[in-house]
């Protein structure tokens, strides 16, 4: 997350603002899987809105100046759902963009494939469970597979 500091001439309050970070590729780079229109919707509308909302919400608060990840933790722990939602959705969208690339995808190799086969029986079993997770939870139909901790030796799905 890129941030920009600004200070109004007659104020002592320094506002640290989050900026809308563009995806690491053009909005039409994933055309065969995701249209430019959908990319623009998630980046130009969703992510932009979360950034603008969070910037408004943190002005003059203890959250101003914190890293995005710290705002997520603090707002979650305080039960500040509006701030948490905006901060977490900024993080989710940036993670979303970084998780894809033109020409990417397909069946993994090596250690990742071995772990997937160990926990899902097969790559095809993983695909089935991933689709089930994405289609049965509230959200946009998007699911990610995460290995939260190597020592834990388990996978979990989360949906954005
Ligand atoms: Fe979105």
Distance 92 CA to ligand 1 centre (A): 8
CA dist., res. 131 & res. 109, Å (int) = 20
Distance 43 CA to ligand 1 centre (A): 7
DSSP code of residue 42: I
**CATH code for the domain defined by 36-99:** 1.10.287.990
Domain boundaries along the sequence of the chain = 36-99, 106-159
pLDDT tens for 37-71 read: 999 999 999 999 999 999 999 999 999 999 999 99
Distance 140 CA to ligand 1 centre (A): 8
Distance 79 CA to ligand 1 centre (A): 23
Distance 57 CA to ligand 1 centre (A): 20
Domain 106-159 fold: minor pseudopilin epsh fold (3.55.40)
- The DSSP code sequence of 44-90 is IIIIHHHHHHHHHHHTTSTTTT--HHHHHHHHHHHT-HHHHHHHHHH
Q: Is 42 annotated as a binding residue?
A: yes
CA dist., res. 41 & res. 56, Å (int) = 21
pLDDT band with cut points at 50, 70 and 90 for residue 141? confident
CA dist., res. 39 & res. 159, Å (int) = 18
């Amino acid at each position: 997350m890129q941030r920009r500091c600004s200070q109004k001439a007659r104020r002592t309050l320094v506002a640290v603002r989050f900026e809308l970070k563009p995806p690491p590729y053009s909005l039409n780079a994933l055309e065969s899987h995701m249209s430019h229109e959908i990319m623009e919707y998630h980046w130009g509308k969703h992510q932009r809105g979360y950034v603008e909302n969070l910037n408004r919400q943190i002005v003059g608060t203890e959250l101003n100046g914190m890293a995005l990840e710290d705002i997520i933790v603090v707002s979650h722990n305080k039960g500040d759902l509006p701030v948490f939602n905006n901060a977490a959705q900024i993080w989710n969208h940036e993670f979303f963009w970084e998780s894809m690339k033109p020409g990417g995808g397909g069946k993994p190799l090596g250690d990742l494939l071995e772990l997937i086969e160990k926990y899902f029986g097969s790559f095809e079993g993983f695909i089935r469970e991933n689709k089930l997770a994405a289609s049965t939870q509230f959200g946009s139909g998007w699911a990610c597979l995460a290995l939260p901790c190597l020592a834990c030796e388990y996978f979990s799905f989360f949906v954005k």
